[in-house]
Structure 1
Amino acid sequence: MTLVIAFIGWEGAVMAGDMREITFQGDGSRIEELERELYSGSIVSDGDLKERAGAIGVTIRVRDDKAKVSQRDGLLIGEVAETDGSVVRRKRLYATKGGYVIAEIIDSQLRVIQRGSASNFVVLGNNITKQIANQCIQGAWEEGGSIPDAMRVIMLTMQAAASTTASVSRTFILVHTDLAANLGGAIEQDSRG
């Protein structure tokens, strides 16, 4: 699980997601140990990650080409995945001008777990990326800020996360909409597959 962050405003929405995907092979308990260290912020650089993985006998594959955010008919969609043994749990954020929905997907079953309205930042990620995002939002966001202000906070967050944890890539995708898309219709469409 890495980082997707969005701002939902009355005038539009903006979302960014990093492009890192890390796959692990080896003993399950060692993988859990490495993931715990990685997602807590103990492992900062790619070199540290490779070194630590090698030291505990875990094989890793790091890719920085996975698009986690997209835009569909004025709707911004971001997704992060978390693996727990053989179960893959995904969280998907749908954002549009004025509102958002967070859904959880397990075994192809989509279930809405949260709904919200404008003037909110929403962060999906691991412990360290959420912590970094909250610090950036608290330090750089002024109540009543504009969409361009939110974009600056989001870009700052992505850069800060990439320099603080190896779980986030230095490259990211940023998408924006000023449309009010149909959240319910998108959820219904995605629920059918």
Structure 2
Amino acid sequence: MQFNMITYIDAYDEKGVYFEYEHPQILSDEGVIETALANLAAQADDTYFVGIIDLNINGELFAGGRLDTSSLLLTWEDFIRFKELISEGKAKITYLDLAVDFYIVPVVGGYQLKTFQMDYEVDENDYVISSTTREILSPIIPIDIFEKEVGRACGEFIQFCENAKLPVNKSDLASLKEYQLAFVTI
């Protein structure tokens, strides 16, 4: 079983207008610091940092696509704290502004990712006639593989923010770092 988490930074032009690259920038891409700075400059305040956290299971993107969030700091904090957030058999992960909910579900021997997809029926004028919600559940990801990757990928994001001296919310970043250090030493 392979499980990888990759953080991408969304791009904004010099006027603060969002535009989509054919391939968003990963943390190791050349020019990603400039992309991150433009992204942060376009936000309402330092708690917002727009990006994507891809979840790859055996080389396939979970839920068939990228999961965007308006706050990478908040989403990473939920991922690193997922064990503390478990309620009613699942931990809700905040993908800020994602239209559907996202969960980590503990199961025997591992974890499953769970989200939903909205399917729409539209008429010839593109008006929605009806919609249905479909549950998407990942295969079971073994505990050690899942937890190691969450700790690694979160640490990579923190290191990127610190090394690039990004103007993200310092208190949120410090809190995320504390949770990540506690998570990887358990």
TM-score range, shorter chain: 0.3 to 0.5
Tell which has more relative contact order, 1 or 2 (C-alpha 8 A, sep 6+).
Answer: 1
The alignment's TM-score, normalised by the length of structure 1, stands at 0.38
